[in-house]
């Protein structure tokens, strides 16, 4: 197995902090200064592959990193996300949570429009409530299935 997060010693030298199950480091292609990745120490591809303890460790570190980024960069907000699967933009096959600190006037995404952020350009009318209830019902019908 070759994994840049597991095997690259240069990334390990960038470690900011860690706990027993996860660690954090600055990404090499930041959206804004301080853009940090948090990864489980164990090599897992998706959040579903993690134990509950690993998930808690990831999000515990996220809170610590956010507080530090407020102090270090004056962050007033954050974009927090992960990509799951190649089709969704996951380029490293090891789960990683992005913590992107946001400040007034930074050069990252200037407006948060989910469809642009998620690669769905263009505006779209709001869906009718009846359609949304139908979608919800369709999804709920699979909750009972194995």
Catalytic residues: 96
Cα separation, 61 vs 22, in Å, equals: 8
Reduce the DSSP state of residue 57 to 3 states and report it. Answer: helix
Place of tokens 């930041």: 30
């Amino acid at each position: 197995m070759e994994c840049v997060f597991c095997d690259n010693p240069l990334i390990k030298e960038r470690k900011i902090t860690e706990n027993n199950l996860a660690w954090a480091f600055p990404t090499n292609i930041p959206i804004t200064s301080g853009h940090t990745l948090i990864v489980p120490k164990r090599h897992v591809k998706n959040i579903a592959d993690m134990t509950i303890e690993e998930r808690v460790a990831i999000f515990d570190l996220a809170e610590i990193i956010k507080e530090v980024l407020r102090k270090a960069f004056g962050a007033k907000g954050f974009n927090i996300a992960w990509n799951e699967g190649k089709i969704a933009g996951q380029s490293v096959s090891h789960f990683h949570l992005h913590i992107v600190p946001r400040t007034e006037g930074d050069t990252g995404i200037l407006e948060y429009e989910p469809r642009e952020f998620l690669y769905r350009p263009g505006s779209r009318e709001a869906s009718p409530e009846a359609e949304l209830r139908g979608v919800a019902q369709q999804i709920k019908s699979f909750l009972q299935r194995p």
